[in-house]
Each structure stands twice: as C-alpha cells, then as structure tokens.
Amino acid sequence: MKVLGWAALLMGVTAINAQAQIPAGTVLVGGSVGYSRTSAEAEPVTPNTAGTESTTRSVSFRPQVGYFISDNLALGISGALNADKYEATEQDTRRYLEYSVGPFVRYYKMFGESQFGLVGTLGAGYRENWDKYKWYDPRFNYHGRGGYAEFTPSVVYFPVSKVGIEASFGNIGYSYFRNKQERPSNSQVERQQYSNKTFGANLSLRNFALGASLYLGR
C-alpha cells in the first residue's frame, strides 16, 4: 500500500509539473504595448521670467508569433513600433518614429506548480527610424537604418493554460545605425552621414510594457 501511495504521489507531482510546462507544438500569438509620460520644468534663466516646462510621451507596440520546438523553448518572429513626442515650446519640439522586425528565441522557466514563470527572449533584426527635431531655427531631420541584438527578461502569469500575461521593464542590447542628417542653413540644406553604435542596459520603470499572448495547442 505504501508503494502504491508513493507511486500515486509521484504521478500526481509529475502531472502537475507537466501541466505547468509549455509543450512542444504550441503556437504563440501575442504582443505587448507600453506608454509613458514624463514632465520636467527648468528654472528661469533670468529673473522675473517663467521657467520652461517640457513633456515627453512615448508609445510602443510589439507583436510576435512563435512556435515551440521543444518544451518551454520557442522560435519566432517579432516586430516593434515606437513613437516619441517631445514638446517644450512651439519652437522646441521633437518627434521620433522607429520600427524593427526580426527573429527571436525565448525560453520559459516555470516555478514548479504555480502559473508564474520567468521568460528570457533573445532577438536580432533590422531597424529603421526617423527623427525630426526643431529648436528655434534651424530644423534637424535624421533618418537611420541599422540592426540590433537584444536580450529582454520578463515575468509571465497564466490565469488559464492558453493565456499568458507578460510584464517587462526594458532590455540589454546592442544596436548599430547609419544615419543621415539634414539641416537648413542659409537657404541651403546641409547633409551629413555618420554611424552610431550603442551597447548597454535599458532597464527601468519608464520602459514598463504589459502584454498578453495566446498559447494555442497547449
């Protein structure tokens, strides 16, 4: 009887752990959205004058689709669209738009019997952006093309087996851009080209993003 009892307990634990895993053959469809608003106020430069208040708004959207080639391991493709708008005065504004697309690999580490887990996503791909900046006179226009490689940690929760809610706070990555700059000067347009390489961690509450995904076939 004791042997049967231990066998039943072992089978039960195994079944629970198997239920917590994401099996091979599951299809992942989902994405995330993010929004942030930051305000800052600068002290007046001269007495008896008002300070300058600036506002920055940022919106992001990241769709993705993937396929689990083995338990808890998925391959797929993702895209991203990011837009920033900075305003201080009518003569001091900035608008930024960027999109990217590329493949990814992600691994899930579930916490035993719970529906919580950690997710690590490694992605790379193509990225393009447009940056229009007006500071009194003249205006600056930037257009960049390049690539990226990034690692994004996140937390996932499954309220039901086929739906996962995911939260992230930025990433650690490398990016390369080749930019073109246009600047009006004396009724002419000055054009310059330069390269920009960046590597670093961009993890903060400002980069908080919340997403939901469907796990079809789980």
Contact between residue 202 and residue 169 where contact means Cβ atoms under 8 Å apart: no
Contact between residue 111 and residue 117 where contact means Cβ atoms under 8 Å apart: yes
d(C-alpha 106, C-alpha 166), whole Å: 13
Q: Which residue has the tokens 């195994």?
A: 14
Q: Could you report the per-residue pLDDT of 79-106, keeping only the tens digit for each?
A: 999 999 988 866 678 899 999 999 999 9
d(C-alpha 195, C-alpha 131), whole Å: 15
* Residue 206 main-chain phi, psi, to 5 deg: -65, -25
- The lowest-confidence range among 3-17, 30-44, 76-90, 166-180 is 3-17
d(C-alpha 50, C-alpha 71), whole Å: 60
- The lowest-confidence range among 70-74, 77-81, 135-139, 204-208 is 135-139
d(C-alpha 39, C-alpha 36), whole Å: 10
Q: What is the pTM of this model?
A: 0.74
Q: What is the percent of the chain with per-residue pLDDT over 70, rounded to a whole number?
A: 81
Widest pairwise Cα distance in the chain: 94
Using the predicted structure, report yes or no on whether residue 123 has a pLDDT greater than 90: yes
Q: Could you report the per-residue pLDDT of 137-183, keeping only the tens digit for each?
A: 567 788 899 999 999 999 999 999 999 999 999 999 999 989 888 77
d(C-alpha 198, C-alpha 216), whole Å: 37
**What average pLDDT score do residues 10-29 get?**
68
Using the predicted structure, report yes or no on whether residue 23 has a pLDDT greater than 80: yes
